Amino acid sequence: MSRKRRVFDIDIPDNEAEDFPAGKIDQRRGPMAAAIVETAESTRDRAVIEAQIRAENDALASEHVRLKRAGLITDVIALDLIDTKKLSRDRQAVSDPELDELVTSIGDIGLSNPIQVEPTGDGRYELIQGWRRLSAYRQLLKESNDVDKWGKIPAGIAVKGDQLEQLYRRMVDENLVRKDISFAEMAQLALSYATDPLTIENDAEKAVAILFKSAGYQKRSYIRNFIPLVQNLGGVLLFSQEIPRALGLSIAQRIQDTPDVVTAIKAELDGWDKRTAREELDILKRYATQIRTNTSETASDEDITPTPTAKAKTTFQLRRPQGSAKCSAANGRLEIRLARDFSTVDRRRLEAAVSMLLDQID
């Protein structure tokens, strides 16, 4: 029996013939195939995005480390979390007119330059730079009691572990740009550095060369000359930062020539807590201008020869801040000539100075 072929009539619409040319197949996918393709593309895109995010995070982390090492990462830190024990400061606990000006400025326009701190590892920080700015914030907090506004201060967080010498140098270089820093304060800083058990130098004069390397030779010489003054009188002087260069050099020379002058100055200042800067300077000026006499040798009666009534006299000159003081001593007369109006000196001070001079001569 033979099988008959079945013939089917298929009607192809004209538009379908245009959509599917001869030799082509239908490109349309089923729902499952489309889902698989979309999932693969999404996974590939996500991998690319994740790689870009990782690269960006790595770059940000590297930049963060760089900025942190440079001390440029800034945060706001509570005042009571900041210690000031690591470095010996050059400022004394006395009235500071410029600090008052800084308090007013920060109160009006805010802080323009953050302080610098170093983390100590226990949630606290050690101050590296900005003692006066920190003091201003603490004063504003004390005066206003506004913890929200003045209880925290902007601070650059430096990398922990910088060498102590570098921290001292940074503090010194920051202070050198101040016009008001005195030679006594710089000498005190050299002494503090030398007595710090963690520093490499214990000689104050040698410490000047380390700390004030950026200063000129003459300025370093002045700082060294102020060291004896601060070393011997720093504990009793309330206004050492007010001592001008010439007066400080004169007092330092007096201390070297006549060490007993330290005891005399301390005796006058002892218990006088309410003195002014001018009164303290007046006492130092009086001792600086005293004629140095040698009292270590006393002559016996046999060694004393009668002084003739002639014009024989002793003359000498002393270098003073005001110029050269010409001194002459003769029978019944002691004269000091100096380019200074002594009539402007308070009579009681002048009387006390002359009395002390005569006592030393006797």
- Output the DSSP codes for 62-121: HHHHHHHHTT-EEEEEEGGGEE--SS--S--SS--HHHHHHHHHHHHH--SS-EEEEE-S
Neighbours of 227 (CB within 10 A): 23
Judgement on whether residues 192 and 149 belong to the same structural domain of the protein? no
Judgement on whether residues 92 and 139 belong to the same structural domain of the protein? yes
Neighbours of 104 (CB within 10 A): 12
> What local confidence, expressed as pLDDT, does residue 280 receive?
92
- The average pLDDT across 21-39 equals 63
| Residue 132: C-alpha distances to residues 113, 166, 185 (Å) | 12, 20, 14
Judgement on whether residues 183 and 150 belong to the same structural domain of the protein? no
Domain boundary among 133, 162, 191: 162
Judgement on whether residues 101 and 187 belong to the same structural domain of the protein? no
- The average pLDDT across 129-152 equals 90
- The average pLDDT across 138-154 equals 92
Judgement on whether residues 261 and 213 belong to the same structural domain of the protein? yes
Instruction: Domain count for the chain, please give it.
Output: 3
Instruction: Say whether pLDDT at 99 is over 90.
Output: no
Q: What is the pTM of this model?
A: 0.48
Length of the chain: 362
Judgement on whether residues 232 and 136 belong to the same structural domain of the protein? no
Instruction: Say whether pLDDT at 313 is over 60.
Output: yes
For residue 308, being part of any structural domain is answered with: no
Neighbours of 134 (CB within 10 A): 18
Provide the token pair at 178: 């101040």
CATH label of the domain that carries residue 153: 3.90.1530.10
> What local confidence, expressed as pLDDT, does residue 146 receive?
92
Range of the domain at 218: 178-288
